[in-house]
Amino acid sequence: MILRPRAQALARLEEAWPEGAPFGSAQVLRHNAGKTVLALDSAKGPVVATCFNRAQTDQQPEGIAQAHETLARLIGAEAIPRLVAFLPRAAITVVEQVPGTPLSDIIRDEPDRAPAEIARAAEWLSRLHRSVPRDRMAVSAAALTQSALTAGTEAPLVTEMEALIDAIGTIKQPRVKFHNDYKPDNVIVTPERIVGIDFRNTRFRAPQIDVGHFLTRAAIYHLSRHEPGAVTRIGLPRALTDAFDAGYGWPISRDPFLELRVLTEAVLARKKLLRRPITRRVALARPGGHGRGLTRLIALMLESLEKPAQEG
């Protein structure tokens, strides 16, 4: 099934970027209605080429190219992949393929090393969030969680989320430069640098959106293979949150709005998992699988949120 998108994307790239030829070892990293992403060798070295579908409006190459230019200026060219080619007529961007290890693999496979690298990733995100003067925006807690508060969500999670919504209400939050998909998969670790990849058209949002996405995914990857150890009030492994807080520069993992984001992320991820075919869910439930880690995270959340009531 993936052969046709690969061939189509490669043909587009060959026509639009002849100076990059010859191409070899092309692999599809991602394919959906909006884009096809290829990793391949080129005359300019190993690259990642993204071929956009102009009919989709979520992402466009102009925005991605502009984000590269903006982030290189704000947080340093070493913090992001180098933009090798921008081909607007063909709706293609080409960036360097950064040699390194995805942080998601380190969290799964090297638990002793993971906290130090999580701290480095948090410092990267802190630089992004501090890269522009902050103004403040009104944020409604309820508006950002409505899709999670539906039938099928366990009562303790609903109760805690509703309590946090009531406590937070509508508050003024800093508007920061926003990655839009900051997760361990999109952080490449090398001895010399941490590189954030696959950022979307950069926007301005509350910092808890990026951080909540990252910490939820980090917990899922850790729990897919390892025991949690000590956990936070909402069930996140403390080894991960302590490392992140240290790198980020303040204890954001204890922030009520952050806790609400993590609970929302976990509930929505589980709903998405349950929509997958049963054969895929079985595969993801194996050690190291996303489904296994997510199931264990939900169980930890329920256990952690029920403890105060039991102890009282």
Domains of the chain: 3-96 (3.30.200.20), 101-311 (3.90.1200.10)
Residue 224 backbone phi and psi in degrees, to 5: -65, -20
Residue 312 banded pLDDT, cuts 50, 70, 90: very low
Report the range out of 53-62, 71-80, 116-125, 201-210 with the highest average pLDDT: 116-125
pLDDT of res. 57: 61
Q: Has residue 218 got a pLDDT over 80?
A: yes
91 phi-psi bin (left φ>0, alpha ψ -120 to 50, beta other): left
pLDDT digits (tens, 9 = 90+) for 183-202: 999 999 999 999 999 876 66
pLDDT of res. 151: 58
Q: What is the pTM of this model?
A: 0.90
Residue 200 backbone phi and psi in degrees, to 5: -90, -170
Q: Which of 79-83, 144-148, 293-297, 306-310 has the lowest mean pLDDT?
A: 306-310
Distances (CA, A) of 129 to 49, 114, 126, 249: 27, 22, 5, 11
Share of the chain above pLDDT 70, in %: 92
Cβ atoms within 10 Å, residue 7: 11
Taking residues 209-229, what's their average pLDDT? 96
Taking residues 163-179, what's their average pLDDT? 81
pLDDT digits (tens, 9 = 90+) for 53-65: 877 766 778 888 8
Residue 18 banded pLDDT, cuts 50, 70, 90: very high
